[in-house]
Amino acid sequence: MKEQKTISVLFSGPLPPPLGGMTTYCQDYLRSNLSSEFNIIFCRSNLIKGTYEVKGLCSFVLRCLNSVVMMIVWVWRLICKHPDIAHVHTNSYVGFYKRGILTILARMFGTRTILHVHGAWFDKFYDKSSWFMQRLIRYLLNANSVVVVLSEEWEDFFMDTIGVQSDRLVVIHNSVFLPNVNVTGPIEDSDRLTILFLSLFEKRKGIYELVDVIANRRQLLKKYRFVLAGPKNTEWDIVAKRINQLNLSDSVEMPGPLVEDAKDRAYRESDIYVLQSYAEGMPLGLLEAMSYGLVCITTPVGGIPQVVQDMHNGILIEPGNVDALENTLERLAADPALRDELGKRALETVKMDYNWEKRAEDIKKLYLDIVGASS
């Protein structure tokens, strides 16, 4: 087997902007100690700035141009660096095909490949594809040395439904860095608790159900203030417009995207995190909230049930159930001991199983196994 420090990894994924789970994961990966143990050759997948800030034809043209430039840079790195491993992060739909081509190119240069799948809608992407495209998806997955998925539920889907070979599938859970315990704790509102939604503004994240609770259950506003944070996209505009029309600006803050210190402060100043999703892989925002000891209200979809056990370290409700969300918030407002207990167990869960120190060791083992198998 090669010496560990000689192993080179050509790593492809996005960095901010845009903001999102896969972006955060790649950013954290580069912050981990893997960079000191392996020769990481980073190849950013979003090379052209402004691609995600424009719409319509301009967006289409910039994305196509970005894809061409990304392919050229990728091949150049393969030729010049001769990496041992190519580790490619992908979502679903068009992005999957583009990243699949990257791994095919890497295999052509004799490089072992890892395709790391993040797409929360991958099941719908596959199910709605034609017979021919399903065969192509299966081929692009099985062409890799390893396919990484985020949970055992996704492993079953990729193996049983898509037909990915079981010996190629590896489960590696998402993880987060634990917050700095030396930083001053949250600034608490003297009258009301703070509910945080910090994610992409899109229907699958359950943002509209949370807005319905705010709009139609006004009695909650005496007990809670709401912070709805995330990148400013079309659906952010829709939510902001409705909040203004309902004259709820005094109880609802919409700060836009939060990163670094601003995100840290938002978590520390909150009491409850809400993510009533319809589809997920293993959401990093949920893990981040748990790492701050917040009570998390979420749903039993994707890999979430592996992380959150109902009434043990969080609360699970069904997607779309507005009444359940309201009742849960009422219960938590009236029971500070329950909030405290659930928050403590959430933090302990992340410390034990979903922190980057543990995850880096899993990835390190994967790299060493792959290179050892090819020696």
Is residue 142 located within the same domain as residue 237? no
How many angstroms separate the Cα of 42 from the Cα of each of 1, 64, 81, 148? 24, 21, 11, 19
pLDDT for position 3: 46
Q: Alpha-carbon distance 137 to 93, whole Å?
A: 10
Q: Residue 91: CB partners within 8 Å, gap ≥ 6?
A: 22, 117, 118, 119
Partner residues linked to 316 by β-bridges: 298
Is residue 149 located within the same domain as residue 200? no
Is residue 131 located within the same domain as residue 242? no
Is residue 119 located within the same domain as residue 156? yes
Residue 278 backbone dihedrals phi, psi, to 5 degrees: -95, -25
Partner residues linked to 271 by β-bridges: none
Q: DSSP strand E in the chain: where?
A: 8-13, 39-44, 85-90, 112-117, 146-149, 169-171, 193-198, 224-229, 252-256, 272-275, 295-298, 315-316
Is residue 158 located within the same domain as residue 220? no
pLDDT for position 187: 55
pLDDT for position 54: 63
Q: Residue 339: CB partners within 8 Å, gap ≥ 6?
A: 271, 272, 295, 332
Is residue 28 located within the same domain as residue 128? yes
The first and second tokens of residue 243, run together, are 């909040």
Is residue 340 located within the same domain as residue 215? yes
Is residue 207 located within the same domain as residue 330? yes
Is residue 27 located within the same domain as residue 109? yes
Partner residues linked to 39 by β-bridges: 8
Q: Alpha-carbon distance 313 to 343, whole Å?
A: 7
Q: Is 181 part of a structural domain of the chain?
A: no
pLDDT for position 184: 54
DSSP assignment of 332-349 equals HHH-HHHHHHHHHHHHHH
How many angstroms separate the Cα of 55 from the Cα of each of 22, 63, 233? 21, 11, 10
Place of tokens 């583009």: 98
Is residue 105 located within the same domain as residue 205? no
pLDDT for position 219: 87
Is residue 320 located within the same domain as residue 335? yes
User: What is the CATH number for 153?
Assistant: 3.40.50.2000
Q: Alpha-carbon distance 221 to 304, whole Å?
A: 28
What tens-digit pLDDT sequence spans the chain (375 residues)? 444 458 999 999 998 877 788 999 999 999 999 999 999 999 999 887 766 666 677 878 888 898 999 999 999 999 999 999 999 999 999 999 999 999 999 999 999 999 999 988 999 999 999 999 999 999 999 999 999 999 999 999 999 999 999 999 999 999 999 998 665 555 555 578 999 999 999 999 999 999 999 998 888 888 999 999 999 999 999 999 999 999 998 889 999 999 999 999 999 999 999 999 999 999 999 999 999 999 999 999 999 999 999 999 999 999 999 999 999 999 999 999 999 999 999 999 999 999 999 999 999 999 999 998 665
- What is the extent of the structural domain holding 144? 4-175+355-374
Of 230, 300, 226, nearest in space to 263 by CA = 230
pLDDT for position 2: 46
Q: Is 201 part of a structural domain of the chain?
A: yes
Looking at the structure of the chain, the number of domains it has is 2
pLDDT for position 153: 93
Are 120 and 319 a contacting pair, CB within 8 Å?
Answer: no
Q: Alpha-carbon distance 265 to 227, whole Å?
A: 12
Q: Is 310 part of a structural domain of the chain?
A: yes
Are 224 and 196 a contacting pair, CB within 8 Å?
Answer: no
Is residue 306 located within the same domain as residue 360? no
DSSP one-letter code for 4: G
The first and second tokens of residue 70, run together, are 């990304």
Overall residue count recorded for the chain in this entry = 375
Are 173 and 150 a contacting pair, CB within 8 Å?
Answer: yes
* 3-class secondary structure, 166: helix
Q: Is 188 part of a structural domain of the chain?
A: no
DSSP one-letter code for 300: S
